Chain A
Amino acid sequence: GAVVSQHPSRVICKSGTSVKIECRSLDFQATTMFWYRQFPKKSLMLMATSNEGSKATYEQGVEKDKFLINHASLTLSTLTVTSAHPEDSSFYICSARATANQPQHFGDGTRLSIL
């Protein structure tokens, strides 16, 4: 089945650091990728939707300048948390799909901890 690889799986860094998370579709071309944030014992909250070659569409309340999303190729999207602070600590999950009629496949998530 389709595989989405997310890297790194865990990152711990100091406050003020910028952190980049990668999401790759390994065996299909992902025209659309999604980024979710999940707080402990909570549901997945959609942060933004990115289409290859276009600017990401952010959900209301998500800071574009804080969470930079790049979807430069059909197999890679990146989420950069800029100048991260402890409140940005969370579990971030990406998902990808080939076309609008295809299933959405999830990465294994990244646990981000800001000290």
Chain B
Amino acid sequence: AQTVTQSQPEMSVQEAETVTLSCTYDTSESDYYLFWYKQPPSRQMILVIRQEAYKQQNATENRFSVNFQKAAKSFSLKISDSQLGDAAMYFCAYRSPPYNNNDMRFGAGTRLTVKP
């Protein structure tokens, strides 16, 4: 079974600074999807960014970007120019390919605090 590991239970960043959240995963599949979700205190799951494993180019969404290292099975999230509204739990998620279950597994999460 695939596992997703987030080794940083908590992270803190100064407003306007940059922070990187780590995520590693274990899989024998070659075709899969990776995601970062944000869960604020409201507990709504908000998709931040997604990456298809077959794409070598790192995904970017405004201030959010990833460093996808397929060989190392690493998928870190970089948040630039951090804002107070970025404070939340961040979950890394792995999704199997369509031909193999295709369900989504989550890491344990990283709680991000943004200091003014």
Contact = CB atoms under 8 A, between A and B. Distances in A.
B45 A46 contact: no
A52 interface: no
Contacts of A42: 108-109
A49 B103 contact: yes
A27 to B, nearest CB: 16
Residue with the highest number of chain B CB atoms closer than 10 Å, among A32, A38, A95, A101? A38
B44 A108 contact: yes
A46 to B, nearest CB: 6
Contacts, number: 41
Residue with the highest number of chain A CB atoms closer than 10 Å, among B45, B101, B103, B109? B45
Interface residues of A, number: 20
A10 to B, nearest CB: 11
B39 to A, nearest CB: 9
A103 B52 CA distance: 12
B45 A106 contact: yes
B43 A109 contact: yes
A100 B44 CA distance: 22
Given A91-B43, A103-B47, A108-B44, A43 B106 contact: yes
Nearest to A34: B103
A34 B104 contact: yes
Nearest to B104: A104
Contacts of A106: 44-45
A103 B42 CA distance: 21
Interface of B: 42-45, 47, 50, 91, 95, 98, 101-109
Closest 10 CB pairs of A and B: A100-B98, A106-B45, A43-B106, A44-B106, A100-B102, A43-B108, A108-B44, A109-B43, A43-B109, A49-B103
